[in-house]
Structure 1
Amino acid sequence: MKGARLATRICGVIAIAAGAAGVAMGQAQVAAPAQSSVSPSDANKVAMAEIMRHGSYFPRGGAPNSLLYNPAPPAPGSAAMARDEEAAKAALALHGTPRWEQAKIDADLFTPKLTDTFSCAAGFRIGADTTLRVQALLFKAMMDFGLASYPTKNHYKRARPFMENGKAICTPDQEGILRKDGSYPSGHSAIGFGMGLILADLVPDRAGELVARGRAFGESRRICNVHWLSDVEEGRIVATTVFARLNAEPAFTADIAAARAELAEKRASLPVPDCARENAALAM
């Protein structure tokens, strides 16, 4: 259960509560109630249970220790902190814009929205109904990318931007747990950039687009007013380190091979998403 509780805390957004994972697991074992009777909170718990069902690639304690490569966050009054504050002010100017709305979408780490986030960058629809092996690979790796940020998060317990500036965040329902979850580094950024790296490996002709989307995914957390710029940047370092380590895991390399074979067989026939709205938002 300790591992399950940690899993529910990945980058704050999917942190429902300390015991929610256990509740979700129980709910996932029974038939889902009628759609009209399922609250968003309960639906999220069941979705989290589905994500956790995939497990992770690293054995317990096998992830690289982020404290070895994440430096301390910017100190108050430092030039680095001034840079973070300036970036936070710039992000506030985007509230209410299409980029803010995209940041809301990127805040959702639950299936199927998370993997679909990369569909435009990939050039085809990613999801359980189109690319099942890719979907399973990404969700399993998500656990490793997200949890790898926690040694640093728990060590520094950095306050988030909205706690300093008092401005709105794009997921007000998550404010309570985000206040208790360290800001540095961003686990959300680690997840997004890590998925971008995996997909770039699988679809090398779209590598630039996929890595850029992973970067923008993390930047959405800054737009949401829940992470500082340095949080997002160091989340990308977490992702890069974890991705390198994952390539030494036989289960990961086997799943990469299976996902690559799936795409070789199906890619030409996969549906192409409509990306006009997303492209316009990310261009802001």
Structure 2
Amino acid sequence: MRRPLATAALLLVTAACAPVGARVAPVATETGQAERPAAYLDTETHQRLGQATPLPPEPGSAAERADQVATRAGWVAPGSPRWTLAQNHAEISPALALGHFDCPLGTRLSETPPPALVRLFSRALEDISAAARVAKARIFRPRPFVDDPSVATCIRVDDSYRTNSSAPSSHATAGIVFGLIMADAAPDQADALTYRGRVIGESRLVCGLHYAADVTAGQQLGYELFEAIVATPAYQADIAQARSELAAARQLGHTNPTCAAERLALGLN
């Protein structure tokens, strides 16, 4: 049975861990008023994709029992390299989330975040949050640590986590969308970047914050969202600029000092 473990790293990532998606910083306008970044998709698309997201298994069913087994199989020892990486992955605010993709690119993007990439992540996160709210509103599923108080979580949780449905995982949705955006911006590292995007969702399982089926459903929503986002003219304009920015950033040769720890956590050494 796992036991909670308080660490300094836990406190560093807690503030970024909104259950339905990180709050995006407002963008200042010429009038001095703040505006949220515009989503790429319309409300109808958010509704359609959110409603189509798979529901969790029926309580007491064989599928639910299998989901519980898969969930427990995803847990790791608190304080292990994979646990620490999962803590880091709790951060999905756009400028900082870029750092999750540094290692395959040989960059340190969160040091000086490229504006077009931040804009892509920010606008996509609006779509992710909107569609996830629709999906979560259909059914309430308690999170693993609510069902079983002995389950350790890799971040500090408050009442918002207890009242927010575990299904689907919006962090898993964000991981897929962000990974696919980065793969579109740097096709030569597409496999490694999309893999990092999947791992962000898997980290929610490691963290004790979602069941395995919630992560899978969130990832499916991510694929569907990206397919819709990439078809918009606004996305195409943003990604064209992001490719140029990212190419320039890679030329700088900056590296992220956490890459050795990431490789160890993911078994890539």
TM category (shorter chain) comes to: 0.7 to 0.9
Q: In 2, are the aligned partners of 1:157 and 1:184 still within 8 Å (CA)?
A: yes
Q: Secondary structure at the match of 1:236?
A: helix
Q: Is 2:197 the partner of 1:214?
A: yes
Q: How does 1:151-170 map to 2 (within 5 A)?
A: 151-166=134-149, 167-170=151-154
Distance 2:249 2:79 in 1: 38
Aligned to 2:238: 255
Q: Where does the alignment leave 5 or more consecutive residues of structure 2 unmatched?
A: 1-15
Q: How does 1:27-46 map to 2 (within 5 A)?
A: none
Bigger proportion of residues as helix = 1
Q: How far 1:53 sits from its partner (Å)? A: 3.8
Q: Which amino acid in 1 is paired with 2:261?
A: R
Aligned to 1:231: 214
Q: In 1, are the aligned partners of 2:92 and 2:174 still within 8 Å (CA)?
A: no
Distance 1:60 1:169 in 2: 33
Aligned to 1:38: none
Q: Is 2:265 the partner of 1:281?
A: yes
1:199 maps to which of 167, 172, 182:
182
Aligned to 2:164: 181
Q: In 2, are the aligned partners of 1:10 and 1:187 still within 8 Å (CA)?
A: no
Q: Where does the alignment leave 5 or more consecutive residues of structure 1 unmatched?
A: 1-7, 16-20, 30-49
Q: Is 2:110 the partner of 1:127?
A: yes
Segment of structure 1 superposing worse, 182-191 or 160-169: 160-169
Q: How far 1:200 sits from its partner (Å)? A: 0.8
Q: How far 1:195 sits from its partner (Å)? A: 0.3
Q: In 2, are the aligned partners of 1:194 and 1:243 still within 8 Å (CA)?
A: yes
How many percent identity over aligned positions? 33
Aligned to 1:40: none
- Cα 1:128–1:277 shift into 2, 3 Å: closer
- Cα 1:97–1:233 shift into 2, 3 Å: same
Q: In 1, are the aligned partners of 2:172 and 2:200 still within 8 Å (CA)?
A: yes
Q: Secondary structure at the match of 1:65?
A: helix
RMSD: 2.7
Distance 1:192 1:71 in 2: 18
Q: How far 1:264 sits from its partner (Å)? A: 3.6
Distance 2:130 2:18 in 1: 6
Aligned to 1:115: 98
* TM-score (structure 2 length as normaliser): 0.81
- Cα 1:238–1:10 shift into 2, 3 Å: farther
Aligned to 1:76: 59
Q: How far 1:234 sits from its partner (Å)? A: 1.0
Distance 2:164 2:200 in 1: 19
Q: In 2, are the aligned partners of 1:126 and 1:135 still within 8 Å (CA)?
A: no
Q: In 1, are the aligned partners of 2:177 and 2:197 still within 8 Å (CA)?
A: yes
Of structures 1 and 2, the one scoring higher in RCO (CA 8 A, sep 6+) is: 2
Q: In 2, are the aligned partners of 1:74 and 1:80 still within 8 Å (CA)?
A: yes
Q: Is 2:159 the partner of 1:171?
A: no
Q: How far 1:69 sits from its partner (Å)? A: 2.6
Q: How far 1:100 sits from its partner (Å)? A: 1.1
- Cα 1:94–1:88 shift into 2, 3 Å: farther
Q: In 2, are the aligned partners of 1:10 and 1:188 still within 8 Å (CA)?
A: no
Q: In 1, are the aligned partners of 2:229 and 2:235 still within 8 Å (CA)?
A: yes
Q: Which amino acid in 1 is paired with 2:105?
A: A
2:80 maps to which of 97, 102, 110:
97
Distance 1:150 1:123 in 2: 35
Q: Which amino acid in 2 is paired with 1:280?
A: L
- Cα 1:9–1:123 shift into 2, 3 Å: closer
